Chains A and B, each alone.
Chain A
Amino acid sequence: GESVGLHLPTLSVQEGDNSIINCAYSNSASDYFIWYKQESGKGPQFIIDIRSNMDKRQGQRVTVLLNKTVKHLSLQIAATQPGDSAVYFCAEGSPNDYKLSFGAGTTVTVRA
């Protein structure tokens, strides 16, 4: 079956550095991808999304890159701050399918 996974379960980053969180997906039919941030005790918070007709999209301090050839998605966070410490999930969606499929998440810890 389809699955969405992340390359690394944990990531430790120095405050002020850039973070890169990776995600591999297996469903080549997926055409919508979304990144969420989840802090302890809270629901997932939307960060940024991208459709398969794009390979890059930028938001405030974040950039999502999509490589459909190798079915890889990444989230780049510029100038990482302590408030960026959280679990990050990538999720995918497919045509005619209303659900989002989530991976297990990457825990990001920002060191002061």
Chain B
Amino acid sequence: DAGVTQSPTHLIKTRGQQVTLRCSPKSGHDTVSWYQQALGQGPQFIFQYYEEEERQRGNFPDRFSGHQFPNYSSELNVNALLLGDSALYLCASSLGWGLTEAFFGQGTRLTVV
């Protein structure tokens, strides 16, 4: 049973560029959430997708956008990258409505130079 998979695992981008991160949820899960984890900090909620729509958004600027596909996989896009966007980006999948146990992927380490 495949868990949550994210790609790529590491990425280096230049300030001002755009980046797309990808996530495949755990088999049977239909909800995908994205989190940003700065070094030494806990994960911070970016947004959640359910039924191909953004269901809830955290305190992140519009430069952060996402998408969910019919197969439940998801993308996180970040435009106009800033140095402060350097972080571990985590995808979590869960099932259905409400809060249930969420399983995380290994993350994508984004470095903006």
Q: Taking beta carbons and an 8 Å cutoff, which residues of A are in contact with B? A: 4, 32, 34, 36, 41-46, 49, 89, 91, 93, 97-105
Cross-chain contact B104 with A43 (CB below 8 angstroms): yes
Cross-chain contact B101 with A49 (CB below 8 angstroms): yes
Q: Mark B79-113, 1 if CB is under 8 A from A, else 0.
A: 00000000000101000001101111111000000
Cross-chain contact B101 with A43 (CB below 8 angstroms): no
Chain B residue with the shortest CB-CB distance to A47: B101
Cross-chain contact A104 with B42 (CB below 8 angstroms): yes
Q: How large is the interface on B (under 10, 10 to 19, 20 to 34, 35 or more residues)?
A: 20 to 34
Cross-chain contact A46 with B45 (CB below 8 angstroms): no
CB distance from B6 to the nearest CB of A (A): 8
Q: Taking beta carbons and an 8 Å cutoff, which residues of B are in contact with A? A: 4, 6, 31, 33, 40-45, 48, 50, 55-56, 58, 90, 92, 98-99, 101-107
Chain A residue with the shortest CB-CB distance to B43: A102
Assembled-state Cα–Cα distance A49/B98 (Å):
14
- Given A44-B43, A98-B56 in contact, is the A34-B90 Cβ separation under 8 Å? no
Cross-chain contact A98 with B33 (CB below 8 angstroms): yes
